Amino acid sequence: MDEQTLRSGLAGLPLPAIQYFDSLPSTNDLALTWAEIGAPDFSLVTADSQSAGRGRLGRRWVTTAGAALAFSLVLRLSPQETDHMALFSPLAGLAVSQALEKLSNLQPIIKWPNDVLLNRKKVAGILAEAIWEGQKVGGVILGIGINVAPSSVPPVHELLFPATSVEQEVGQPVDRIRLLRSVLEEMLAWRPNLTSPEFFQAWENRLAFRGEWVEASQIGKAALQGKVVRINQDGNLILLDASGKEISITAGDIHLRPVDP
């Protein structure tokens, strides 16, 4: 990937500004700095490799040169969108899922709240971070990492959850810029419908482990177990515990994994 090819491949999309780097510590960090000095809505930062990328809960996300997609978007929120900030991670998850569906005969699912899985293995992660303007939130940095080539998948001993790459699942090379363009197109299409019944239905249709037992663990709190039922209108995950009682799980420092009932 190079800047000229990237700009050519994204031509025609409503991207007001693009910053490309061969190597960068973190696209999210640069996007946050850029936002502080006025980067407009839907500005894009992307890098061919990352050395200090971040996932949720402070986890490390390494991007190998030539093997993955690592990009961040600066989103300036309307007052209505600010009331629904928790939905921007699933917005990205849905956009990545639909882009992968169009790429090949893939069936991606979304591991609540922010991972995309192929064959029940993680292929993409999302990190949403608030842009603060004094005491109020002025926007969101939406960082997305997608394992494209097999070399982008970390060694097994470094994984907290099984992982895969797009090329491993489709069995052929994948054009990273074409995939990036498709993700951005899907995000643009869904963003105006963020709180619509159609958005929640599309998300729930791809909800990982639906009808299965999972454990939701949180640092400093007792782990909860239950059967995945649905998502509510606030974007919370609804589980059904052994007694038949519904449990609402709020996105945060939660680690979700399937378990035997």
Residue among 186, 196, 177, 109 at smallest CA distance from 142:
186
* d(C-alpha 63, C-alpha 52), whole Å: 9
Residue 54 pLDDT class (50, 70, 90 cuts): low
- The residues spanned by each domain of the chain are 3-205, 213-258
Q: pLDDT at position 252, please?
A: 62
Q: pLDDT at position 133, please?
A: 81
Q: What is the mean pLDDT of residues 114-120?
A: 94
Query: Mind listing the pLDDT tens digit for each residue in 138-155?
Result: 899 999 999 999 999 988
Q: Could you please state the CATH topology (level 3) that the domain comprising 3-205 is classified under.
A: BirA Bifunctional Protein; domain 2 (3.30.930)
| Residue 56 pLDDT > 60 | no
Query: Mind listing the pLDDT tens digit for each residue in 148-189?
Result: 999 999 888 777 789 999 999 999 999 999 999 999 999 999
Q: What is the mean pLDDT of residues 41-47?
A: 97
**DSSP letters spanning the chain:** --HHHHHHHTTTS--S-EEEEEEES-HHHHHHHHHHTTPPTTEEEEEEEEEEEE-GGG-EEEE-TTTEEEEEEEEEPPHHHHTTGGGHHHHHHHHHHHHHHHHSS---EEETTTEEEETTEEEEEEEEEEEEETTEEEEEEEEEEEE-SGGGSPPGGG-SS-B--HHHHHTS---HHHHHHHHHHHHHHHGGGTTSHHHHHHHHHTBTTBTSEEEEEETTEEEEEEEEEEE-TTS-EEEE-TTS-EEEE-SSSEEEEE---
Q: pLDDT at position 87, please?
A: 93
Query: Mind listing the pLDDT tens digit for each residue in 218-242?
Result: 777 778 899 999 999 888 999 999 9
| Residue 57 pLDDT > 80 | no
Q: pLDDT at position 90, please?
A: 94
Q: What is the mean pLDDT of residues 34-47?
A: 96
Cα–Cα distance list, 208 to 84, 118, 158, 170, 231 (Å): 22, 10, 22, 20, 11
Residue percentage of the chain with pLDDT more than 90: 72
How would CATH label the architecture of 213-258?
Answer: Roll (2.30)
Query: Mind listing the pLDDT tens digit for each residue in 9-31?
Result: 999 999 999 999 999 999 999 99
Q: pLDDT at position 59, please?
A: 61
* d(C-alpha 111, C-alpha 108), whole Å: 10
